[in-house]
Amino acid sequence: MARTAVLGLPRIGPERELKLGLEAYWAGSAGSAELLGTAAELRAAAWRRAAAAGIDVIPCGDFSLYDHVLDTAWALGAVPSRFGEPDRDDLDAYFALARGSAEARPLEMTKWFDTNYHYMVPELAPGQRFDPRSDHWTGPLREAAALGIAARPVLLGPYSFLRLGKGLPEPLRLLDDLVPAYERLIGELRAAGAAEVQIDEPCLVLDPGPADLDAFAEAWRALATVGVGLCLTTYFAGLQKAAIGRLGELAPDELHLDLVRAPGQLGPVLAALREEPTRLSLGVLDGRNVWAADLDAALVLLDRAAGAVGAERLTIAPSCSLLHVPYEAARERAIDPEVRPWLAFAAERLAELATLGGALEAGPERRDGLLAASRATREARRRSPSTNDPAVRERAAGLGADDYGRSRPADERRRRQRERVPLPELPTTTIGSFPQTAEIRAARRDLREGRLDEEAYERFLEARIAEVVAAQERLGLDVLVHGEAERGDMVEYFGQQLAGFAFSDGGWVQSYGSRCVKPPIIYGDVSRPGPMTVRWWRHAQSQTDRPVKGMLTGPVTILQWSFVRDDQPRQQTCVQIALAIGDEVRDLEAAGAFAIQVDEAALREGLPLQRADRDDYLRWAIDCFRLAAAPAAPETQVHTHMCYSEFNEMMEHIARLDADVLSIEASRSGMEVLDAFAGESTYPNDVGPGVYDIHSARVPETDEIERLLAIAETRIDRDRLWVNPDCGLKTRRWEEVLPALEHMVAAAHRRRAAGGQSGG
Ligand code: GLN
Ligand code: ZN
């Protein structure tokens, strides 16, 4: 008989109890006993829910006070020397790695694969020593046992731990020292009563080469000698051919596959492992998205595997940890009652898992009964007018090549734009947002909670816009912005005004530490009922003779930071969003905007994990940007902004964006990143490399900015160079922003005066 398993559970708490607990602890209003008590309660509640849903294999040790990669480094004693020799029972010492201390900067944080979760990057040094401690797992193992649950400890495996770390040119060479530490950990788990252990090795799906696979295989063989059943879990993409070959030889006790992302790996894996005793854990339910599953489709995969190896060798599971979905869709009140049943958060996933377990056992006659409700929901969703807006579908179907680009080539556009609005050399601008003060956040909250009416709110925003415009005029900036005071979030603001988007009240997922995000849910065909930003732009432009940039979020970024419908290709949803954003471009232009910025902060984040898929993604993603920008006339200047600049392997795609002006992050590398823009693949249009880091409160000096500009001029032709900060200013305070921009403008003036002479 097949069993059911979960690889990981949400941990922030149904009411974000962990967030509140952490914040209280950090603020000093609660002690460590209180925080640890909250954590233990959250773990117990999660286990009870999984047990009540009838799940057979329930995880432990996946819970974290901050981040599971940090926990792994902490448990292994892999702590950078700047933190000294911390007492590993000291909570503050643990949080210092995550948040920094007076003496030491924190570990870096980066995205966990292609999710919106962020992990703390382990820092490894040559000659790194490990000193394993297993209490992070043995503690919860005993807590679960006290509730009558034989939980399965979850460890991030040694191969992935090293691959996710930084600091070593050849990290896998450290496996020789690390594997014994893991052997000890696993041995202690066995002694504490664990019957099996889950070893997460998601890095196995990232194009491993033969040497990587050798190193992994050697490590795995050593771990397998400890004498406890090991489940090797992979997720977020499929195992490639060479990896499957190796796993056929290694024959782990259990192997987990993400069949939502990569159903195609099932056939080769079955072929490789059919004769081995390996149990297969099939991730047939989406652990990263929020839609009620197509259980019939899942059963097709399960039946096929059961036919090949027997149902008793199968585990049915979500594709990955449920960390990436919210708690419970049934508790949602704000979502349209038609749409709500289409959703499945973690609680509903557990129920689906149990249903699948029953259905796999049941004969065909009983299956109909078990699946009837789920089938009816899918059918209602498929036929709903919200998922089938004929106007949107016709418009998308009628698109031709001409719709995917500007009407005139870049050099002609540049000439016409310069005639329309002559700008000085090295024009100065900002990325869009100005400080989001407490007053601004309070006004938005008051509006939401009914203490402020629309009318009063609008007057309030107009006053803020007038202030921001006046400040920019005083600073002498050339292309102004309205400041984005109306936006709490650059995706939510647009989603709330577009058809096809829903917003949950409790749909929080952890982003990092205590921080959560509540992504919009794109459930239907997307269209724009009316203008979204024009009135704010209009008010800003009415205050000044200088050009004010319209400010929009691009289609790829909106897609990337939302839960996206799973009943059509992502690309198709992105095209619909692009058409809606293009409508806004058209309206801003009609209102008189000279410059319009379409931000694509998340374009790079959407890159597929495996190299072979990247070109295809970049092609359609950039097509969508082009579709959104296409309505702009040649005289209208289209800007785009990206918060990063490692474009090395994608320069031809970036060029294809064909934005008139591209602003990027560049100050932290001292303009080094501009190398990709010089050289052979010379980027043809204007570029605004960020000249100061907005993530820091430090105010840059004029000299410093001037030096960066002089370097930039050696990489980018002077007449194509813009001057701007690295990113938006919303997280900064006015006291920092005003002097920083003053220095930026002064530096630009000095470079203009230098007239292209180096030095400065
Ligand atoms: N226009 C946005 C801002 O300035 C861009 C933010 C971003 O790139 N993340 O805030
Ligand atoms: Zn940015």
Q: Contact at 8 Å (CB) between 293 and 286?
A: yes
Cβ–Cβ < 8 Å for 411, 722:
no
When pLDDT is averaged across residues 361-370 and rounded to a whole number, the result is 90
Same domain, 712 and 660: yes
Residues 572 and 707 in one domain: yes
* pLDDT, tens digit (0-9, with 9 covering 90-100), for 179-208: 999 999 999 999 999 999 999 999 999 999
| Domain assignment of residue 408, yes or no | no
Ligand 1: atom nearest CA of 643 is 8
pLDDT at 760 over 60: no
Q: Can you tell me which atom of ligand 1 is nearest the CA of 433?
A: 4
337: tokens are 């009652």
Residues 488 and 574 grouped into a single domain: yes
Cα(350) to ligand 2 centroid in Å equals 38
- Give the CATH number, domain containing residue 546: 3.20.20.210
Is the CB–ligand 1 distance for residue 549 below 6 Å? no
Q: Ligand 2 being an ion, which residues bring their Cβ within 5 A of it?
A: 643, 727
Buried b or exposed e, range 173-194, using 16+ CB within 10 angstroms: ebbeebbebbbbbbebbbebeb
Token pair for 651: 């320069």
With a cut of 60, say whether residue 518 has pLDDT above it. Answer: yes
pLDDT tens digits for range 258-278: 999 999 999 999 999 999 999
pLDDT reading at 632 higher than 70: yes
Using pLDDT thresholds of 50, 70 and 90, give the confidence band for residue 644: confident
| Pair of tokens at residue 527 | 């269209």
- 579-611 pLDDT tens trace: 999 999 999 999 999 999 999 999 999 999 999
User: Looking at the structure, do residues 421 and 326 belong to the same domain, yes or no?
Assistant: no
What is the pLDDT averaged over residues 9-23? 98
Query: pTM of this prediction?
Result: 0.97
In a domain, 405, yes or no: no
Sign of CA dihedral 697, 702, 707, 710: positive
Q: Are residues 429 and 373 in the same domain?
A: no
d(CA 20, CA 411): 54
In a domain, 403, yes or no: no
Distance from C-alpha of 513 to C-alpha of 515, rounded to nearest angstrom: 6
Average pLDDT score, the chain: 96
Q: Which two tokens stand for residue 133?
A: 């401690």
d(CA 278, CA 423) in angstroms, rounded, equals: 68
**Mean pLDDT along residues 209-215:** 98
DSSP 513-554: TTEEE---EEEEEEE-SS-SSHHHHHHHHHT-SS-BEEEEE-
- List the structure tokens of 645: 């600049």
> Could you tell me if the CB of 431 is within 6 A of ligand 1?
yes
- Of all protein residues, the one whose alpha carbon is nearest to atom 9 of ligand 1 is 601
Q: Which ligand is nearest to the CA of 643?
A: 2
- Give the nearest ligand 1 atom to 728 CA: 4
Q: What is the distance in angstroms between the CA of the first residue and the CA of the last residue of the chain? A: 76
In a domain, residue 152? The reply is yes
Residues 108 and 198 in one domain: yes
Report the amino acid identity of residue 168. L
pLDDT at 569 over 70: yes
Percentage of the chain surpassing pLDDT 90?
Answer: 94
The conformation of residue 284, written as its DSSP 8-state character, comes to E
C-alpha of residue 744 to centroid of ligand 2, in Å: 17
The neighbouring-strand residues paired with 59 are 152
State the greatest distance between any 2 C-alpha atoms of the chain, in Å, as a whole number.
84
641 lines ligand 1 (CB under 6 A): yes
How many residues does the structure list for the chain? 760
> In whole angstroms, what is the distance from residue 125 CA to residue 177 CA?
13
Beta pairing class for 661-664 and 686-689: parallel
Residues 50 and 137 in one domain: yes
Residue 235: pLDDT above 80? yes
> Is 401 among the domain residues?
no
Distance of CA 373 to the CA centre of its chain: 33
- Residue 403: CA atoms inside 13 Å, Cβ hemisphere, count? 15
How far is residue 659's CA from residue 687's CA, in Å, rounded to a whole number? 9
3-class state of residue 349 by DSSP: helix
Same structural domain, 546 and 662: yes
Which of these three, 337, 365, 384, is where a domain ends?
Answer: 384
Statement to judge: residues 454 and 574 lie in one domain: yes
Q: With a cut of 50, say whether residue 227 has pLDDT above it.
A: yes
pLDDT-derived band at 680, boundaries 50, 70, 90: low
> How many Å apart are CA 189 and CA 230, to the nearest integer?
12
759 in any annotated domain: no
**Which pLDDT belongs to residue 647?**
84
End position of a domain, from candidates 384, 405, 426: 384
Compute the average pLDDT of residues 484-488.
96
What are phi and psi for residue 118, nearest 5 degrees?
A: -120, 140
Of 290, 286, 309, give the one whose Cα is nearest residue 356: 286
pLDDT of 708 above 80: yes
Average pLDDT for 629-639: 98
For residue 497, is pLDDT > 90?
Answer: yes
Same domain for 524 and 599?
yes
Q: Which amino acid is at 348?
A: E
DSSP 597: E
Q: Is 406 inside a domain boundary?
A: no
Which of 364, 384, 404 terminates a domain? The answer is 384
Identify whether residues 315 and 432 lie together within a single domain: no
Instruction: Find all residues with CB under 8 Å of 419, minimum gap 6, and list them.
Output: 635
- Give the count of domains, the chain: 2
Give yes or no: residues 159 and 106 share one domain. yes
Identify whether 391 is part of a domain: no
Domain holding 740, by residue range, is: 414-754
For residue 682, pLDDT beyond 80 = no
